[in-house]
Structure 1
Amino acid sequence: MPDKNLTVIVEQCLAPVPGGTGRYADQITAALVATCPPGWRVRTVTAWHRDLSPARIAGADGPHRLPVGHRVLNQLWRRSLPPWIRGAAVQATTPLAPARLANAVVTVHDAVPWTHPETLSPQGVSWHRAMVERAMGTAKAVVVPSRAVADDLAGIFPAAIARVQVVPHGVTPMVPPDDAADRRRRLGLTGRYLLSVATLEPRKGLDVLIAAMAGPVAADVRLAVAGQPGWGGVDLAAGAASVGVSPSRVQALGRLDDDDLAAAMQGAVALVAPSRSEGFGLPVLEAFAAGVPVISSDAPALAELSAGAAVIVPREDPSALAAAIGAVLADPDLVASLRERGLARSREFTWTRAAGALWEIHRRP
C-alpha cells in the first residue's frame, strides 16, 4: 500500500521575520517526521523561494516549491484560488492555507487581530481575520497552543468552537555551547543584564520594560533584546532616551542562532516577557528549560504557561515590573526557587507530545 502524505506548509521558516511561529513550523514538522505512523510520510511545501535551506527538515520529503512567491500566495489563498496542495492530510503551521480545507488542520497561534488589532498593521489584521474565519468554518480542526487562545476564539466564533483543540507547543532545549562565554563577549553581553526574546513590535511591550529600567531599582542592570525588527518601527535606543534611560543600557542583538541564544540565556539575570498579548510564549518556556528565572506580564497565555513558575506582573505597569526586577536582582532564594519551578514546568512540554496530538487529529475519520 503506498504511503499517505501529510503535507506540511512550512512557509514561515522562510519568512523575513520568522519569530516564534517560524520555530514552531520547524520543530513541529521535525517531530511529525519523528513520530510518523506506519503507512504515512511527511511532505513539506513552501511558496517559491530561491533558497529553501531554512525550510529543509531532516526526514521530510521537500520542501517542494509552489509556483508563486509568498506575497502572491497570500493573496491567492485569501481569495480561495489555486495553487492547491496534494496530500491525504494537510498541516498548516500558520493560518496560511488553501481554501480546500476539509482535510486540513490549521494552527492559529493567537487571537491578536481581534483582541489587540492596534499592535498589528491594518493589512495584517485584515489578512489574518479573513484566513482564520475561513479555517473556523471549513477546516477539519483548528489547533491553538493555549486555553487562553481557545477562550478568545470561543467569544469570536461561538458556533465553530467545537473545531478548536488545544495542543501546547513543545520546548527546544537551549544547551549552552562550550564557547558560551566567548559568544557573550562577542555579543557585548558583559555584567548583569536582562534578556528579552521578542520581535521588535508594539505588541511585545518592550516600551514598558524600558520604562521600568528608568527607576533606581533597576539602575545597575542592562537590557539585551534578541529579535528582528518587525512591524511598527520600534526603536529601542529612541525609546530608552525618551524615558531617561541611557541608550547604552539597551542593546538590540538582532536575530540569534540557537547557540548564541543559549549563551545569552545562560548569562542573563532573568528573561523578561512584558508582552501585551501572546498566544503561548515559547521564549518563556525555553528560559524555564534553561534554568533562567522569568518575569512575565499577566497576558493570559503567559500566565497559563507559567502556572506559578514565573514572577507575574500587570501589563502596562512599569512600576510593578521594576519592583519584580528588583526582587530578582536582590533575592538569591527567589532566583533559586524560580529556576527550580521553571525546570519542573518545562518538563511538561515536548514536541513529541504535540506531534502525537496532531497525528491523532489527522488520522481521525
Structure 2
Amino acid sequence: MSTTLRVVVDQVVAHVPGPLGRYTLDLANAIVAAAPAGCEVEGIVSSSPPEDYERIQGLIPGLAGLYKTTLARRELAAAWQLGITTSPGGGMIHGTSLFAPLRRHDRDTGDTQVVVTVHDVLAWKHPEALTSASVAWQKAMMKRARKHADAVVVPTHALASDLQAIADFGDRVRVIGTAARSGLVLGADADLRAVRLGLPKEFVVMAGSLEPRNGLVDALAALGRPGVPDVPVVVLGPSTWGDQHVAEVAEESGVAPNRIRCLDLDDPRDLAVVLHRALAFIAPAHDDAVGSALIEAFALGTPVIHSDVPAYVEISGGAGLVVPVGVADDGYADRLAAAITSLVSDRALADRLALSGSDRGRAFSWRDSGERVWQLHADL
C-alpha cells in the first residue's frame, strides 16, 4: 500500500496565478520528483472546469490523481476560513499557502497532517498593500493555522522571525527555501528575444512597483544623482502604481524618461535574457520576506546590489553588494548611487560579483525543496 501526500495545487489554475502559482507549480513538480519509493502525490483543487483539471495534470505530469472539491475557489476559501467544509479526509496534506483545510485533529498520532506555507506577513506589516478582504482572510487563516497546523513552512529564516513575532508557533516553523523559477534558461534565440524586448546594449535592471516598501523610488533617485553613470534602466513590473508613473517619477529624480523601459514578463526565457544581459540587478526594497528575485539574478550570473533587509542578507550570503537602508531621509539614495557607480564603473568588481553570485545561486534547487518537504512530513 502506497503512502499519499496531497498537495494543494489550486493556485496553478487561478485566474492570475502570479508568484504563488509559479511557486506551487515548481514545488509540486519537485515533490513528485523526490517522492520516496512507495509514495505518491495527489493534487487538491477546487471545483473547476474540466480543462483546468487537464491543465494541472499536464503541468504536473507525475500526479497520481486529483481530489476535486465540491466548491469553487472563492466559496472554498470562505468555507476553509470558517472550517465548515469537508476535506480530502485524513492523511498528509501540504498547503503551498494558507489556503488549506485546517481543522481540529490529533497531532500526536500522525495519522492526519496538515502543513501550510506562509510567504509574507504583509497583512500585519503592510496592510495597505492588500485589499481589506485579503487582510481579513489571511489573519483568520493564520489563527486557524496556529490552532490546527502541524507545521508552517516559510522560505527564509528572516520570515520565520517575523512570523514568530506575530503568532507563536513554537517549534512548528520549518524553513524550506525556494529556487529560480523553472524555464529560466538562455536559449539559442536569446539575441532575437533581446531585440524583440527592445533591450539597450547596456542597462541595469530592478523589479517591483512604485510602492514605497519596494525601494524603486530610492533607486531611481540614486540613478539621478550627479556622477552616476547615465545607463538605461529596465524595470520588471508595472509602469504605474496608483496615479504615479515610473517615467514621471524617474524624470522628477533627474533620470530622463527615455532611459526607462518597463517590462511585465510572463515567459521565463525572456526574463533570463534580461537578467543575463544586465550590468547589475538592483534590489533596493525596504522590506522583503522572500527575496526570490535575488536567487534568479544569481542563477543568471548577474552582479547584484541589494539592501540590507534580513531576507536579502540571508539569501545573498555575501555574494552581493550590500547597501544599508537606514532610516527615512538619511541618505539611502546616496548610498545606492555610490554602489551603482562603483559596480558599473569597475569591471573587476562586477566580474567578482558575477562569479560569487553564480556560485551562490547553485545553493538553491527545487529538488532540495521537494526532498525537504518529504522529510518534514516524515518527521511529523
Sequence identity, in percent? 36
CA distance 1:329–1:124, shift in 2 (3 Å): same
CA distance in 1, matches of 2:219, 2:285: 9
Indicate whether 1:194 and 2:204 are aligned: yes
Indicate whether 1:138 and 2:137 are aligned: no
Indicate whether 1:357 and 2:372 are aligned: yes
The amino acid that maps onto 2:178 is: H
CA distance 1:101–1:169, shift in 2 (3 Å): farther
Q: Counterpart of 2:110?
A: none
Q: Counterpart of 2:339?
A: 324
**SS of aligned partner of 2:70:** coil
Residues 156 and 290, structure 2, Cα contact 8 Å, conserved in 1: yes
Q: 1:200 Cα shift? A: 6.8
Worse-matched range after superposition: 128-137 or 239-248:
239-248
Q: Counterpart of 2:158?
A: 148
* Deviations, residues 173-200 of structure 1 (Å, cap 9, x unaligned): 7321111111011011112212224467
Q: 1:168 aligns with which of 169, 173, 177?
A: 177
CA distance in 1, matches of 2:248, 2:64: 46
**SS of aligned partner of 2:146:** helix
CA distance in 1, matches of 2:47, 2:286: 34
Indicate whether 1:310 and 2:313 are aligned: no
Q: Counterpart of 2:32?
A: 33
CA distance 1:264–1:179, shift in 2 (3 Å): same
The amino acid that maps onto 1:27 is: D
CA distance 1:213–1:284, shift in 2 (3 Å): same
Q: 1:261 aligns with which of 245, 252, 271?
A: 271
Q: Counterpart of 2:249?
A: 239
**SS of aligned partner of 1:216:** coil
Larger radius of gyration: 2
Q: 1:292 Cα shift? A: 0.5
* Deviations, residues 330-360 of structure 1 (Å, cap 9, x unaligned): 0111111111111221222221221111111
Q: 1:148 Cα shift? A: 0.7
CA distance in 2, matches of 1:62, 1:237: 48
Q: Counterpart of 1:69?
A: 72
Worse-matched range after superposition: 328-337 or 68-77:
68-77
CA distance in 2, matches of 1:305, 1:24: 17
Q: 1:90 Cα shift? A: 0.9
**SS of aligned partner of 1:170:** coil
The aligned runs of 1:72-111 (5 Å cut-off) are: 72-86=75-89, 88-100=91-103, 102=105, 103-111=113-121
Q: Counterpart of 1:58?
A: 61
Q: Counterpart of 1:115?
A: 125
CA distance in 2, matches of 1:84, 1:340: 48
Residues 7 and 87, structure 1, Cα contact 8 Å, conserved in 2: no
Residues 281 and 301, structure 1, Cα contact 8 Å, conserved in 2: yes
The amino acid that maps onto 1:157 is: A
Q: 2:219 aligns with which of 200, 209, 217?
A: 209
Indicate whether 1:47 and 2:46 are aligned: yes
Q: 1:147 Cα shift? A: 0.9
**SS of aligned partner of 1:362:** helix
CA distance in 2, matches of 1:231, 1:361: 40
CA distance 1:234–1:128, shift in 2 (3 Å): farther
Which sections of structure 1, spanning at least 5 residues, go unmatched?
none
Q: 1:137 Cα shift? A: 2.4
Q: 1:231 Cα shift? A: 8.1
CA distance 1:245–1:300, shift in 2 (3 Å): same
CA distance 1:152–1:320, shift in 2 (3 Å): same
Paired positions, count:
363
Worse-matched range after superposition: 124-133 or 134-143:
124-133
How large is the RMSD of aligned CA atoms in angstroms? Answer: 2.5
Q: 1:261 Cα shift? A: 0.9
CA distance in 1, matches of 2:62, 2:243: 39
**SS of aligned partner of 2:374:** helix
CA distance 1:255–1:141, shift in 2 (3 Å): same
- What TM-score do you get using the length of structure 2 for normalisation? 0.86
CA distance in 1, matches of 2:240, 2:67: 27
The amino acid that maps onto 1:237 is: A
**SS of aligned partner of 2:153:** strand
Q: 1:12 Cα shift? A: 2.7
**SS of aligned partner of 2:255:** coil
